[in-house]
Every structure is written in structure tokens, then in C-alpha cells.
Chain A
Amino acid sequence: MPGHRSLRLALAVVTVLALVGPAPAADPSGVAIMKKQRETQRLKDEEERQALKLIGKSGATKERKLVRYLLSGPGDLDKILVRFLAPRDVENTGLLTWEGKDGNDDQWLYLPTVKKPKRIAASGKKNRFLGTDFSYEDLRAENVAVNTYALVGSEAVDGVDCFVIDATPATERQASDSGYGRRRIWVRKDTLVTVKREYYDKKAKLEKVETHRKLVNVAGPVWRADEVEMHDVVNGTRTVITVEARAVNRGLKDDFFTETELVR
């Protein structure tokens, strides 16, 4: 498909030029790529219904379902409401997050049995999210303010050229809060979408590999993966998130991301 190839090449050139501005030739910096990604891949709001398949070492599977709402706020800070739909024992459990500067998030957990939302310290970022192979921090958007990003090269993933970027904590707080010493991120040059991440622990040992598949163009330049797999290479477990339904930019209001909606 030579036509497609030249289109991709053109896109890549345009993207790179856009990243580096008028000065030609030099590769864009890692942080410039990540900032541009954050800028171009951001939506006003999103709603996703997700099915999570947890695959154990032996191949045994468990399933979870949830709905996730996100509202982009000023200063690159999002508000996120997650409500679990299945299985029965976690049904209607809700987690509301207001992202804060320097990772100081406000977070409330609603357990239907307790019948009231409870403010929780957002300390469990390293912890596995609902027994999956994703930790809370894996599910957050990149916070470019608390990480450094170094462009370490280019590499093709599924035949598509990608920037390869190493992300490391830039602040003491992030180094302490994060479960990782380094993350390697593959960002497509044509669309600036992340397609793969490798997570290394603080001893530089590979812990997990995250792969994004079934990319769909959801609005303008914005792409999302309909399938994300996290493979814990240490424990031999996998989690596959499949997006079953998605709605974007439908005008969710700030009022939706409050205690009132969390307990509803």
C-alpha cells in the first residue's frame, strides 16, 4: 500500500515538525512529545463501559465490568468517576477522583454497604486496581509535571514507527508514590497515541508490559484503544480491558463529578 505509506510518512513528518516548531532537523524531546500527546489526545469528556478479563497464571478467568467517566479540567487536571457494574459483590462501588497538582488528588470511595462516601488517602497508587494487573497509577493520564521523559530512539510496533521514550519520576514525591523506577513508552509518530508501555521496578527489573490494540479515531485527532492488555511478566497473569461502549464530548458537567453522583 504505497499510498498509505506515503500518507503515514507525511503525517509523521508533520507531527515531528509540529513538535519541534520552526527549527528543523533535531529530534523532538521526550517531554515535548508527551506534552503534545497530552494536548492532542485530550477530550472534553469521556464515558467508557469496560469489560475487564483477569487471566490467572493457570488460565482461570474472572470478569469485571465498570463504567468510567472523565472530565478534562483546567491545568491538565481531570475528574474521574468509576462505577463498578459487576460482579455482584462490587456492584455500585464507586471511586471519584479529582486530580490535584503534584499528584495531590482528592479521592472518595463509595461502598454500597456503608451507604456513604468516604474520603480516602490517595496512597494506593501502586496497588492493583480491583485485583487486576493494572495499578491505580497505570490508569491515570500521563502527568508530565512529575516525570522526566527522555527520547531514546525509534522502533516499529506492529509495523508502525514509534518514538521510544523513557519516563522516570522527576520529583521525590513521585519517586515515593510510584511503584516504578522507569517506564518505557512507545508513542506512534503518526497519531501520537501510546501503543505500548513497559514497567520496570525500582531495581530496573521488567515487571509488566501493557499493549494497546484496536485503535479507533474517536474525534478529530483523538484516538483511543478499544483493547488494552496488561501482562504481569513476574506473576504470569494478564488483564484485558475491552471497551464495550464509548461516548465522547457529550457535555458532562462538573456537577456530575460530585459526591451526589457517586452515591447515586
Chain B
Amino acid sequence: MRRAAGAALLLLLVAAPAAAEEEPLTLASLGLKGQAVFKNYTSFETTANDRHLVVDEGILQVEWARRLGAWGATKLIVEFRDDDFGFTRGLHFQIPETSQRRSYLGVREATFSARRGPLEVTLGKQIYAWGTADAFNPTDNLNPYDYLDVLDNEKLGVWSASARLSLGPSSLVFAVVPFFTPSRLPLPRGRWTPPVPPGFVAVADDPVRPEQDIGATQYAARLRTTVAGWDFSVSYYDGFDHTLSFRQSAFQVAPGVVIPRLTPVYSRVKVPGLDFSTTFGKLEVHGEGAFRLVESDGRDHRFQGIAGVNYTQDVGLRWLDQMIFIVEYGRETVLRRIRHSGIIEKDKSPLVGDLLANSGFRDAIVGRIQAKLTEDTSLKLSGIADLAVTPSYYVQFKGNHRVTDAVHVEAGLDFLTGKPDTFWGRWRNNDRFFLVLRYLF
């Protein structure tokens, strides 16, 4: 695989535009661009699982993109990354990506698109983004996430084929993902894996992933249109949850002594959804909802919805250009329980509480206030209050400054509060300072 990556890089260089012969040799003349990112996270406390307070990470992302006349385009984004905690280890290229840790060298996106008339077909490792909400998108199900750092999570590309048919203001997208890629979960010996509650004893199996055969193929479609100032879309996803559910069974440790056995599985779901957005004067209004209907390895049919408004106030002062306010409310409703599924009810398990929950939007209010001081500097205060079961909160204060067009700096504080068995409270010892330096080339 390493050899293949080397060959691909060589091909990129060979395929550089002919104009490069006349211009001085620069990355841009080779069609290359990218960014170098340094991240620092300084936590204020150690946790039972993790004695590190400081984590530094470096990422070098290189992108090569080329239009192939009017009929097509190709793009490749590769990433070199390392950190001093161990999120990254080894050099591996997998289809699908199932490694617990990141690779030093990885392909973030690799696409080839061909267009004829209103139809465009794209093949390769793709990142999809569906839905209109800001905090959470119930209709956006094709990509797994990298949750090694839960707050600084990243969407992972999936090897897939997609077709887009565009007719005026309407478009229909159909995507097929032949392989299942799970989300990358926090490392067991890291601060984002909460400690097992005292008194809780169980046998934990390795996750059971779907077989990589035709049955694991995932499909999705989205029809979107604009009518009289409203954007509407309906979507459908037939595939897997990328995060785990837990099947409970009994494990006999000795004659007459039985303890719970937990087998992590991935639910197969069908998710019809819809979203909309429109504006009323200075107010942008959006909403998104999806029915999460379990086909196998799941416990509940659910409806997930989120709606909100976005208001922008132009201030026009020399030190304050604009204020942006966003408020959203997210709600999850259990439509029907499948009683004999053997899957644990995530948020109500004895002793465990919300520790197995994978959504913080079951009954949540999201708010964001952004002060754009100048074109180059902004301050942002965001918060999520999860009111399901027992309230817990996540608050972030962040400042962004563009030092030059190429150098950006971002710094801030994350605060998490709540009881230890609540959604955000399970990470209550993870309050931290963060700094991100970005150089774009």
C-alpha cells in the first residue's frame, strides 16, 4: 500500500500542468495546496484513565485538484499527522478503515467526477454533508466520525459512488457505500473513555462488525429543491449506525455465578428524513428531522428532530462589525421499543446511566453567540444543555484571529459539567484550554 501511495504521489507530480514549464516551480504551479496545523490541548485535571495533561498534534494536509475540461474533475487530499498521546500510530491503508488509531499517512478524500449534461457521477473516498441544522444533523448518516478526541471530532471519508442529477433548482443525489466503516471511538486508556462505575461488573466482547459482503452495502438518496424562498429536502438512508449499541447476554463465570456479557454491535437502520430552511427578514429558520427505524441489532425506533433560528445583526462599529445568534432545540422521541432485541437501553441502564449514550440531543438546547469584531477577528460563545434524564452542559469560548491571509490562530476553553453518569458530565474532568495554529499554502 505504501508503494501505491508513492506511485500516486509521483503521478501527481508528473501530471502537473504544462504551464509549470514557463512559470517558476511553486506548489501552486504543480496544482498543490494545503495546510499545516499545530494543535495543543491542555487539560486542567488528570482523569482515572489518563495522567496526561498536555496533548500536542501536528497535521500536514496536502491537496491536489484538477479540472479535466468541462466533463470532469479529480481531487486528492492526503494527510500526514502525529501527536504525542498516541492517537496516531503506524502506517496503514485500509478499505474500510477499521483501525483503532490514525495512520501517520492517510487519504482524507480521493475523488474522480465525470459530468454529462445534468448528471454527475463521483467515485472515491467522499465526505457528504446533508441537512440544514448547525449542531447536529439527523439526516446526515453516510460518514462515520473520528471520536478519538470527542470535542474535536472529524468526519471520516467513505469509499463510495454517488450520482447527482440536477434539474433547475432541484437536485437528486444517490449514494452507494459498499463497505461499512465504523466511527473511531475514544481509546480505552484515554480521558474520553469514562471509568467503569464502581460495582459494575460485566464481560465485554470485541465489537461485532457487519460482514463485508453485499449485505453490508449502504444506500442513501436526497432530493432537494427550492420553492418560493424555501429550501426543502427529503432523504433516505439504509445502512448502519456508525457508533455502537450493546447486546446484553449472560456469562457464567462459575457454577451458579452469572454476570452480564456485553457485545458491542452496530444497528442496521432505515432513516427517512426531511429538512427545510428559509428566511424571514433577518431571521434564518431551519429544521431537520429523521425517523431512525431499526432493522436489526437495535432497541428502539426513534424520531430525531432539531430546529432553530439564526439571526445576524449588523453593528457596523469600528470594533464590532456584526453579531450572530443561533439557537436550536434538539429532541429525540422513542416511537416503539423492540422488547426482545437484547440491546441495552442506553440511557437508563442501572449503574451506567448515560455512559453508553451516543447522542447529546435527546432533549437539548443549543446556543451560539458570535461577535465578529473585524474581518479578521471574532469571538464565539457556544453551549449545549442536555436536559435528558439529569441536565449536563458543554460550554466553549473561542477566539479566532487571522494574522495574515495564510496564518490563522484559534484559542479557547472547553467546559463540561454535570453528574458523572450524564452525557456531558461523564467528561466533567476534561475542561481544557486549546490552541490551534494554521498555516495555509
Chain B CB within 8 A of A155 CB:
no
Q: Looking at the complex, which one of A91, A114, A127, A255 makes contact with B129 (CB distance below 8 Å)? A: A114
State in angstroms the CA–CA spacing of A131 and B376 once bound together.
Answer: 8
Determine whether the beta carbon of B284 is less than 8 Å from that of A120.
yes
State in angstroms the CA–CA spacing of A124 and B441 once bound together.
Answer: 30
Determine whether the beta carbon of A124 is less than 8 Å from that of B312.
yes
Determine whether the beta carbon of B164 is less than 8 Å from that of A260.
yes
Interface residues on A, range: 20 to 34
Nearest chain B residue, comparing its CB with the CB of A87 = B405
Determine whether the beta carbon of B316 is less than 8 Å from that of A179.
yes
| Contact of A88 with B408 at beta-carbon distance under 8 Å, contacts A127-B321, A130-B375, A260-B166 already known | no
Q: Number of residues in B with C-beta < 8 Å to the partner?
A: 46
For window 383-420 of B, CB contacts with A under 8 Å fall at: 402, 405-406, 408
Shortest CB-to-CB span from A222 to chain B, Å, is 27
Secondary structure class of chain B's binding surface, majority of residues: strand
Shortest CB-to-CB span from A62 to chain B, Å, is 7
Determine whether the beta carbon of B312 is less than 8 Å from that of A123.
yes
Chain A CB within 8 A of B59 CB:
no
For window 305-356 of B, CB contacts with A under 8 Å fall at: 310-314, 316, 318, 321-322
Nearest chain A residue, comparing its CB with the CB of B120 = A260
Determine whether the beta carbon of A258 is less than 8 Å from that of B33.
no
State in angstroms the CA–CA spacing of A87 and B405 once bound together.
Answer: 6
Shortest CB-to-CB span from B234 to chain A, Å, is 15
Nearest chain B residue, comparing its CB with the CB of A122 = B279
Shortest CB-to-CB span from A79 to chain B, Å, is 11
Chain B CB within 8 A of A246 CB:
no
Determine whether the beta carbon of B231 is less than 8 Å from that of A255.
no
Determine whether the beta carbon of A121 is less than 8 Å from that of B314.
no
State in angstroms the CA–CA spacing of A215 and B432 once bound together.
Answer: 57
State in angstroms the CA–CA spacing of A235 and B318 once bound together.
Answer: 9
Determine whether the beta carbon of A124 is less than 8 Å from that of B405.
no
Chain A CB within 8 A of B53 CB:
no
Between B164, B282, B313, B406, the greatest number of chain A beta carbons within 10 A of the residue's beta carbon is seen for B282
Interface residues of A (CB under 8 A from B): 62, 87-89, 91, 100, 104, 106, 114-116, 118-124, 126-128, 130-131, 179, 235, 254-255, 258-260, 264
Interface CB pairs A-B, < 8 A, 21? A62-B405, A87-B405, A88-B33, A88-B440, A89-B405, A89-B440, A116-B130, A116-B131, A119-B277, A120-B312, A121-B282, A121-B310, A124-B312, A124-B322, A126-B314, A127-B316, A131-B375, A259-B169, A259-B226, A260-B120, A260-B164
List 6 tightest A-B contacts by C-beta distance, closest first. A131-B375, A87-B405, A123-B282, A115-B129, A116-B129, A88-B440
